[in-house]
Amino acid sequence: MSERVLPAVGVPPRQAWVEHWPLLLGFATLAIPTVSSLSKQVWTRESGAHGPIILATGAWLLWRQAGSFRALQKPGSVWIAGLVLGLSLLLYGFARAFDFISLEMAGLYGAGLAMLYALFGAAAMLKNWFPLFYLGFCLPPPGWFLDRITAPLKQFVSSVATGSLNAAGLPIAREGVTIHIAQYQLLVEDACSGMNSLIGLFAISLLYIYLLRGSSLRYSGILTLFVIPIAIVGNILRIIVLVMLTYYFGEQVAQGFAHFVAGIFLFAVDLLLVFAVDAVLPRFLPKSWRPAS
């Protein structure tokens, strides 16, 4: 991570954006329909529940860095900005017409980057790269891609969870994509759906690392490596909770509101584990690798 950048002294952050209201209005005209679609589709699923959080915190980061953008302002090439904007709008229009939400969001994201480049230039964007990179996590990955990258992890966590419960004496077995517990059957895909929140956990963890440890690139990289094993541990706990709810209270309870609550609770547990690792990790690293206190 690069060192955090604070707004330049004497440059009102609000002025850096408000004076460009016509461009913001044009971007809002594109963004509002897309956000509406996201709220009805992607954000209603567990794999996309992190979207509103990232959008809100990403917008706050841009607002926070407004002074830095203004201090480094050197408008970019009109031709480059126009080309990127044109291609992004074509992608946006195509995706909007055929309801490809992932491509639509990609087109919107590209249009936003083109507008920022036209206004502030490449130097300002590179200096303030993290908010732009972070907002990229708002792009919903296609379902087939998400399934492909999480499939091995889902098989692993389901195997560990069922093995642990079996060792504890519960009548549980896993057969292919089905978990059998007493007279109940759970699909592995449903029980392991928490792995779909891996991208959200990774993004929120990066935000935490950037805000608290942004000045230490080496330490930030090490801490980031712990996110995936933390997500795996959290999802193993999630499966154990869901299976035990099914066994003791029935399938209707486990697949109803309790399923949603378990997902939210264990996502919070994952974040707490990131904080815990951050608190302990410096003790095991050489002094030169530790973050500034």
Q: Are both 231 and 196 inside the same structural domain?
A: yes
Q: Are both 147 and 262 inside the same structural domain?
A: yes
Residue 10 has pLDDT above 50, yes or no: no
- What are residue 179's DSSP bridge partners? 174, 186
Higher pLDDT among residues 59 and 152, named by residue: 59
Q: Are both 118 and 195 inside the same structural domain?
A: no
Find the catalytic residue in 148, 192, 218, 290: 192
Q: Are both 149 and 130 inside the same structural domain?
A: no
Q: Are both 131 and 149 inside the same structural domain?
A: no
Residue 60 has pLDDT above 80, yes or no: yes
Q: Are both 217 and 125 inside the same structural domain?
A: no
| 2 occurs within a structural domain | no
55 pLDDT band, cuts 50/70/90, is: very high
User: 76 near 99, Cβ under 8 Å?
Assistant: no
Among 135, 167, 202, the domain boundary falls at: 135
**Structure confidence by residue, pLDDT tens digits, 182-239:** 888 877 766 666 666 778 888 888 888 888 766 567 787 888 888 888 888 888 888 8
CA distance 254 to 252: 6
Residue 47 has pLDDT above 50, yes or no: yes
Q: Are both 154 and 268 inside the same structural domain?
A: yes
Burial class (CB in 10 A: 0-12, 13-18, 19+), 148: exposed
Find the catalytic residue in 96, 174, 213, 238: 238
pLDDT of residue 87: 97
| 232 occurs within a structural domain | yes
Q: Are both 83 and 163 inside the same structural domain?
A: no
The domain of 188 spans: 143-289
At 203, list the tokens. 């993004």
Average pLDDT, the chain: 82
103 pLDDT band, cuts 50/70/90, is: very high
Q: Are both 112 and 166 inside the same structural domain?
A: no
Among 108, 135, 162, the domain boundary falls at: 135
User: 191 near 179, Cβ under 8 Å?
Assistant: yes
User: By mean pLDDT, which of 16-25, 142-151, 159-168, 239-248 is the weakest?
Assistant: 16-25
User: 155 near 110, Cβ under 8 Å?
Assistant: no
| 209 occurs within a structural domain | yes
Residue 167 has pLDDT above 80, yes or no: yes
Which of 104, 133, 116, 286 lies closest to 209 in space, CA to CA? 133
User: By mean pLDDT, which of 109-118, 243-252, 257-266, 278-287 is the weakest?
Assistant: 257-266
For residue 138, indicate whether it is catalytic: no
Percentage of residues in the chain with pLDDT exceeding 70?
A: 84
Mean pLDDT across the stretch 81-107? 94
Q: Are both 52 and 74 inside the same structural domain?
A: yes
292 pLDDT band, cuts 50/70/90, is: low
Among 84, 118, 135, the domain boundary falls at: 135
| 1 occurs within a structural domain | no
Mean pLDDT across the stretch 128-156? 84
Q: Are both 116 and 156 inside the same structural domain?
A: no
At 115, list the tokens. 């507008």
| 185 occurs within a structural domain | yes
Which of 252, 98, 243, 76 lies closest to 173 in space, CA to CA? 243
User: 186 near 175, Cβ under 8 Å?
Assistant: no
Q: Are both 262 and 161 inside the same structural domain?
A: yes
Higher pLDDT among residues 24 and 104, named by residue: 104
Cα→Cα distances 16→27, 60, 70, 109, 145, Å: 16, 14, 6, 20, 38
Structural domains of the chain, count:
2
